[in-house]
Amino acid sequence: MYRYDEFDENLVRQRARQFRGQVERRLSGELPEEHFKPLRLQNGVYLQLHAYMLRVAIPYGQLDGRKLRGLADIADRYDKRYGHFTTRQNIQFNWIRLEDMPEVLDRLADVGMHAIQTSGNCIRNVTSDPFAGAAADEVEDPRPWCEIIRQWSTFHPEFSHLPRKFKIAVSGGGHDRAAIRVHDIGLDLRRNSDGEIGFEVVCGGGLGRTPHVGVTVRDWISKPELLSYLEAIMRVYNRHGRRDNKYKARIKILVNELGEATFRSLVEEEFAAQNEREKVILPLAEVDRIEAYFAPPAFDAAPAASPTLDEARRLNGDLDRWARHNLRSHKAPGYTSILVSLKPLGAAPGDATSDQMRAMADIADRFAGGDIRVAHEQDLVLTHVRLEDVPAVFAALQTAGLATANGGMITDIIACPGLDYCNLANARSISVANSIQAAFSDPDLEDMIGPLHLNISGCINACGHHHVGHIGILGVDKKGEEFYQVLFGGRADERAAIGEIAGPGLKHEDIAPALKRVVQRYLSLRSSPEETFIDALERLGQAPFREALYAAS
């Protein structure tokens, strides 16, 4: 895991000091809210329904025990003993007082963290695959490049007042678990025809009110050229992105209005015009230095299967079911990655208490080399666990209330905070998620259904990624009443697609029964138990599912 050197440390400290001054000027009235707003936003501070909200960056979702304990301490001291993990692999605290913010930033800096550029019209926290460095299918670990991009984009003088926020995601080249095709820029590590590893560059994806799947602007760019190429894209966007209407200001609109070919040629022209002085120079030794932080741990030679685990699974049905849903394959034999669900029935998706954070930190230190990730599904991941240790990890997670056996299943719901916290919301998200969880709480039923991604947003801004859920749910406001539109067929992986709205919105209380009918229809129509919901939907089209959705009315 990357550790700050003196430069990183200094900058984060200086930034905290700078923000302290800004908060003081705001509290004294010297700085009007209008001028303070973009400054607090670039430090992750939002003004929400009830209080200020602080969004802390977790670069590419990477945590370790020390950082997670630091977050737990902040939750205890300045908030209500919990935090909310987001779809951008960050964490949000909902109840911090503005006066306390500078101190919180200092405490974050103590554990090598910050809230820099977690909001505002700048380059946001770069996101990645939570299984990076552990997944068997990746071409290469994407995290060193995430870190390089983090550094390059931090306080970039040219790109701090973009037309709109800007999100970059990097995937390691296997199955896309970072949703790179629905980001402003998505990067995918891949080999060119000579076998050299570089990046495919995808641009113009995004959700929100006008969802788009990104287009490939470059099949392949070499590693040394990457940052210069990103500068070319950013400059084209900064100069030509729309600033007359904030709803049309994202790069996806620019790509769409110019057309893919014109956009690409603008970027290529800009890239070709860069002179020696303008190129971003990244010494190879510096790349090596950063890569070294992400070197895989020394894995013990172990057989691919563990008789201890197999036996424990035979004896313990709960462990067996949890292992079936929450273990993920690992590149090293005898190891596994574990998805730790933050979606127990009846809780707010993505929330973790400070005690749970500390428990996770302890478990990670003991069994996973201290390596903890945040997944964009708002779950946590332990990346390098020996199969032998799985029963012990399960027991420890159970004690902490973190052993929910629903990884990737219908009750592992992505949901934004919605009307309970967010001042933009049209409808509640959390309670509708809970009603769906309750409807599918029978483990046998959920097992039968298999993988199914269900995403909920409380308004068109789509923080809950409803467009890319196999089933998506969008809260809308109809004459002061909450309604929910249902979308079918979205996906966030390498076959990214935007879900289609099925029809008129349903009432809060009608959503869960309607989805039960949809799922029953799937179970009766699937060609075999192996055919997943999304596969069946793609084979059969929306019609039978839409029909089931509205069957009661």
Partner 1 sequence: MPLLRHGRVSSCSRIFSDSGFGDAAASDVIVTLRSFLDDRSSTASRRDDVAVRLRPEDDPRLLANDLDAVSLIEVEFPKYTDGRGYSIAQLLRRRYGYTRELRAVGQVLRDQLSLMRRSGFDAVVFDHPDAEGVYAEAVGELSSAYQGAADDAVSIFLRRRPGASPGGLT
Mapped onto helix, strand or coil, the DSSP state of residue 306 is coil
The residue from 4, 78, 95, 155 that contacts partner 1 (CB under 8 A) is: 155
> How far apart are CB 462 and partner 1 at their closest, in Å?
23
Question: Is 513 near partner 1 (CB under 8 A)?
Answer: no
**How many residues in total does the chain contain?**
553
Residues 277 to 306: which contact partner 1 by CB under 8 A?
277-287, 289
The residue from 47, 424, 512, 540 that contacts ligand SF4 (CB under 6 A) is: 424
Q: Are strands 372-374 and 351-353 parallel, antiparallel or unpaired?
A: unpaired
Task: Pick the stretch among 127-135, 244-252, 380-388, 420-428 that binds ligand SF4 (CB under 6 A).
Answer: 420-428
Contacted entry of ligand SF4, partner 1, none for residue 528, CB cut-off 5 to 8 Å set by kind: none
Closest of 479, 368, 381 to residue 426, by C-alpha: 479
> How far apart are CB 469 and partner 1 at their closest, in Å?
33
- CA 267-270-274 angle, 5° bins: 140
Those residues whose C-beta lies under 8 Å from the C-beta of residue 304, and which sit 6 or more positions away, are 333, 334
Q: What b/e sequence results for 459-487 when a residue is b if at least 16 CB atoms lie within 10 Å of its CB, and e otherwise?
A: bbebbbbbbbbbbbbbbbeeeeebbbbbb
Nearest-angstrom CA–CA distance, 471 and 405: 20
Amino acid, res. 84: H
Q: Name which of 428 and 526 has its Cβ closer to ligand SF4.
A: 428
Site string for ligand SF4, 305-344 (x = CB under 6 A): ----------------------------------------
Site string for partner 1, 123-152 (x = CB under 8 A): ----------------------------xx
Classify burial at 217, counting beta carbons within 10 Å of its beta carbon; exposed 0-12, middle 13-18, buried 19 or more. Answer: buried
Question: Is 356 near partner 1 (CB under 8 A)?
Answer: no
Nearest-angstrom CA–CA distance, 142 and 134: 11
Neighbours of 7 (CB within 10 A): 9
Q: Name which of 189 and 430 has its Cβ closer to partner 1.
A: 189
Nearest-angstrom CA–CA distance, 415 and 338: 21
> How far apart are CB 476 and ligand SF4 at their closest, in Å?
11
Contacted entry of ligand SF4, partner 1, none for residue 5, CB cut-off 5 to 8 Å set by kind: partner 1
Question: Is 123 near ligand SF4 (CB under 6 A)?
Answer: no
- Residue 234 per-residue DSSP state: H
Q: Name which of 431 and 532 has its Cβ closer to ligand SF4.
A: 431
Question: Is 38 near partner 1 (CB under 8 A)?
Answer: yes
Task: Pick the stretch among 57-65, 117-125, 339-347, 411-419 that binds ligand SF4 (CB under 6 A).
Answer: 411-419
Contacted entry of partner 1, ligand SF4, none for residue 464, CB cut-off 5 to 8 Å set by kind: ligand SF4
Contacted entry of ligand SF4, partner 1, none for residue 417, CB cut-off 5 to 8 Å set by kind: ligand SF4
Q: What b/e sequence results for 362-394 when a residue is b if at least 16 CB atoms lie within 10 Å of its CB, and e otherwise?
A: ebbbebbbbbbbbbbbbbbbbbbbbbbbbbbbb
Question: Is 7 near partner 1 (CB under 8 A)?
Answer: yes
The pair of three-digit structure tokens given for residue 541, joined into one six-digit string: 């089209």
Question: Is 17 near partner 1 (CB under 8 A)?
Answer: yes
Contacted entry of ligand SF4, partner 1, none for residue 443, CB cut-off 5 to 8 Å set by kind: none
Answer whether 347's CB lies under 8 Å from 81's CB: no
Q: Name which of 267 and 473 has its Cβ closer to ligand SF4.
A: 473
Nearest-angstrom CA–CA distance, 484 and 499: 14
Question: Is 90 near ligand SF4 (CB under 6 A)?
Answer: no
Neighbours of 340 (CB within 10 A): 25
Q: What b/e sequence results for 26-43 when a residue is b if at least 16 CB atoms lie within 10 Å of its CB, and e otherwise?
A: beeeebeeeebbebbbbb
Q: Name which of 290 and 361 has its Cβ closer to partner 1.
A: 290
Classify burial at 538, counting beta carbons within 10 Å of its beta carbon; exposed 0-12, middle 13-18, buried 19 or more. Answer: middle
Residues 443 to 502: which contact ligand SF4 by CB under 6 A?
457-459, 461-464
Task: Pick the stretch among 156-164, 372-380, 515-523, 533-541 that binds partner 1 (CB under 8 A).
Answer: 156-164
Nearest-angstrom CA–CA distance, 497 and 212: 8
Question: Is 227 near partner 1 (CB under 8 A)?
Answer: yes
Q: Name which of 57 and 427 has its Cβ closer to partner 1.
A: 57
Size of the site for partner 1 (CB under 8 A): 50
Question: Is 430 near ligand SF4 (CB under 6 A)?
Answer: no
Answer whether 110's CB lies under 8 Å from 70's CB: yes
The residue from 77, 242, 243, 366 that contacts partner 1 (CB under 8 A) is: 243
- Residue 440 per-residue DSSP state: T
The residue from 45, 68, 368, 425 that contacts ligand SF4 (CB under 6 A) is: 425
The residues binding ligand SF4 (CB under 6 A) are 416-418, 422, 424-425, 457-459, 461-464
Enumerate binding residues for partner 1 (CB under 8 A). 5, 7, 10-11, 14-15, 17-18, 22, 35, 38-39, 121, 151-152, 154-163, 223-225, 227-228, 235, 238-239, 243, 273-287, 289
